Amino acid sequence: MVKIKICGFTRRQDIEEAVRLGIRYVGINFFPPSPRFVKPAEASKLLADLPEDVAKVGVFVNPDEKFLFRTAKVLRLDAVQLHGNEPPWLAKKVRDRFRGEKLVIKAVRVENEKSLENVRIYKADYILLDSSSGDTYGGTGRRIDYSLLGTRPLPWERIFLAGGITAGNVADVLARFKPFAIDVASGVEMAPGIKDREKMELLVHNTRKFYENNS
């Protein structure tokens, strides 16, 4: 079954509820302009004592290198997600620095067919495909133009698919694509950074139901 990553947590109670529902990838946003921004000191409390099988993902956008490496180390993140316009060498540097200790996820904003070349160019453990929305980096609720994803072979076994995924459309998404994981933020929120328990529960339910109906 596809993995589910929920991103942009700002409250401990929402993380605990997500973990109870079976979510195993929890994303914290370290990009100050984002409405879901969390300071490292606050993130430490949010991520404390989570089960070992829950991956703590730090989301960075065009970060200062020292801040990135220090935050990833101090918070003992399991994955570093680069969600901006970082150059390929930075993704490789992060991956080399942690030598398998932490996963590297590189977001690729799908603007056109040419932008999918970045899937090949970036040397990361996983690629996250997201919609493009000007200077906004993720969490917009906008869907990718799915017609672009059929223009070339993609390594779906290491792709996180994001962009406007909700409980209402997740079955259609999974019927069309077979990603390693789906990534959801605004699709399970009542406000930016404030998760809705019922929406999270329905997302998990509909995802499991899709596989039960197609097994």
Asked whether the predicted pLDDT for residue 137 surpasses 60, the reply is no
Q: How many Cβ atoms are within 10 Å of 174's Cβ, its own excluded? A: 20
pLDDT score, position 16: 98
Per the residue annotation, which of 7, 14, 78, 183 is the catalytic one? 7
Q: What is the pLDDT of residue 150?
A: 82
- Domain containing 19 equals 3-213
Residue 160 CA to residue 142 CA, distance in Å, equals 16
Yes or no: say if 31 and 137 are a contact pair by the CB < 8 Å rule: yes
Tokens for 73? Answer: 């180390």
User: What is the token pair recorded at 169?
Assistant: 């459309």
pLDDT at residue 133 is higher than 80: no
Q: How many CB atoms lie within 10 A of CB 14?
A: 22
Q: What percent of the chain has pLDDT over 90?
A: 88
In this predicted structure, what is the pLDDT of residue 74?
A: 97
What's the rounded mean pLDDT across residues 92-120? Answer: 93
Residue type, 108: V
Q: How many domains does the chain have?
A: 1
CATH number of the structural domain spanning residue 12 = 3.20.20.70
Res. 135 pLDDT band, cuts 50 70 90: low
Write down the pTM of the prediction: 0.94
Is 7 catalytic? The answer is: yes
DSSP strand pairing (189-191 vs 194-195): antiparallel
CB 24 within 8 A of CB 6: no
Across the range 155-161, mean pLDDT stands at 97
Kindly indicate the confidence band of residue 99, based on its pLDDT and cuts at 50, 70 and 90: confident
Residue 174 has pLDDT above 80, yes or no: yes
Q: Tell me which of 49, 78, 96, 130 is the catalytic residue.
A: 130
Alpha helices in 55-147 (DSSP H): 65-74, 88-98, 117-121
**Structure confidence at residue 132 (pLDDT):** 66
Q: Would you say residue 151 has pLDDT above 80? A: no
Select the more confidently predicted residue: 152 or 86: 86
Six-digit token pair at 201? 């529960």
Of the candidates 14, 21, 27, 10, the residue with the CA atom closest to the CA atom of residue 167:
21
User: Is there a catalytic annotation at residue 64?
Assistant: no
Q: What is the pLDDT of residues 23-77, one digit of tens each?
A: 999 999 999 999 999 999 999 999 999 999 999 999 999 999 999 999 999 999 9
| Pick from 8-12, 57-61, 129-133, 173-177: least confident | 129-133
Min mean pLDDT across 75-79, 114-118, 210-214 is at: 114-118
d(CA 15, CA 161): 21
* Residue 148, helix vs strand vs coil: helix
